[in-house]
Amino acid sequence: MTADTRPYVEPGQPEPAVPLLGGDLTEGLVRVGDTVRRPASVSSRRVRRLLDFLQSAGFQGAPRFLGIDESGRDTLGFVPGDTAGRPWPRWVADESSAISVARLVRSYDDAVQPLGVPSWARAGDDDDPQGCPSSIAGQATFLAHMDITPENVVFQGGTAVALIDFDLVRPATRAEEVANLLLWWGAWMPATDRDPVIREVDAASRAAVLMDAYGLGPVDRAKVVDVALNAAERSWHLMRRRALTQGGGWKRMWDEGVGDKILRRQAWLAENAAVLHAAIT
Ligand SMILES: Nc1ncnc2c1ncn2[C@@H]1O[C@H](COP(=O)(O)OP(=O)(O)O)[C@@H](O)[C@H]1O
Ligand SMILES: [Mg+2]
């Protein structure tokens, strides 16, 4: 049986559905007992297979895919712990939180690396939109998470224990994954666009700490700033396309000005490139 036809069999009396409101995007996300129900998305096929692979590899830092429930929703294991809601709690700014996220991401990347880039990993939206600068990241080597926001990491006792929300998983390089980590946990954006709790984070020194915690090699370190800038340039086009084609939360974010935020991030990265590069190489 493939992951797409595996039914989720309810273990007993139906339990009440409790809305999960932490994310920006997925409408209708609920917790039922120790499971999470996620309406199927364009990424469901690849996420189901990926989560199955992680389980077979013995990786503990991601929810299990349990099957598809009677309403057609993806059923995942609920990971107990804390995730950041908006506004972010203070601990999101702690260096120790960021270090533990970098270590968790490294362990995910290493666990998923043997899968490489399987043919099912393309979701049909992988061609660049018109006008989008091409990627400078080079050949993708594995299925990177690529959305390591504080809302998408579960903590237990101050330590990051699981990545959730694999909707943006895609073939990428280590440098691209780390650039995404730096965006959220290294405050790689202008202070005015930061959540208040991370406004004072020093982006250069935090970046150096995150690089060491992840253990990124020297060749990739030398690329990260350029890759982050290229990713920001590409992200404006990719987000706009998602807003147009997928609507929902993507359209809402676009209407709320995320496109302009991305343009400000590009300018900030370009302005600070030399300082950031020096800090991490
Ligand atoms: N498997 C899970 N275990 C624990 N909490 C979860 C799980 N899935 C989702 N959540 C909670 O629901 C919130 C939103 O889920 P997420 O999958 O990130 O949706 P969105 O696509 O809207 O970002 C998360 O921030 C987290 O608090
Ligand atoms: Mg999320």
Distance between CA atoms of 81 and 222, rounded to whole angstroms? 35
Ligand 1 atom with the smallest distance to the CA of 80 is: 4
Average pLDDT of span 65-92: 96
End-to-end CA gap in the chain:
48
How many angstroms separate the Cα of 88 from the Cα of each of 61, 83, 85, 112, 198? 22, 9, 6, 29, 9
- Hey, which residues does 74 pair with through a beta bridge? 38, 68
pLDDT of residue 125: 54
Q: Which of 54, 79, 164, 251 has most ligand 1 atoms within 8 Å of CB, for mutation?
A: 164
User: Is the pLDDT at 124 greater than 70, yes or no?
Assistant: no
List, in order, residues 6 or more apart from 226 with CB less than 8 Å away.
136, 273
User: Is the pLDDT at 25 greater than 80, yes or no?
Assistant: no
pLDDT 10s digits, 264-279: 999 999 999 999 999 9
pLDDT 10s digits, 191-227: 999 999 999 999 999 999 999 999 999 999 999 999 9
pLDDT 10s digits, 88-97: 999 999 999 9
- Hey, which residues does 38 pair with through a beta bridge? 74
Identify the band that residue 26 occupies on the pLDDT scale cut at 50, 70 and 90: confident
pLDDT of residue 209: 98
Q: What are phi and psi of 186, to 5 degrees?
A: -115, 5
- Other C-beta atoms closer than 10 Å to the C-beta of 102 total 25
Could you tell me the distance, in angstroms and rounded to a whole number, from the CA of residue 25 to the centre of ligand 2? 7
User: Is the pLDDT at 78 greater than 70, yes or no?
Assistant: yes
> What are the strands, taking DSSP E only, across 152-248?
153-156, 159-163, 170-172
- In degrees, rounded to 5, the angle at the alpha carbon of residue 166 between the alpha carbons of residues 141 and 107 is 55
User: Is the pLDDT at 147 greater than 60, yes or no?
Assistant: yes
Ligand 1 pocket by C-beta < 6 Å: which residues?
20, 22-26, 29, 36, 63, 76, 78-79, 83, 151-152, 154, 164-165, 167
Ligand 1 atom with the smallest distance to the CA of 38 is: 17
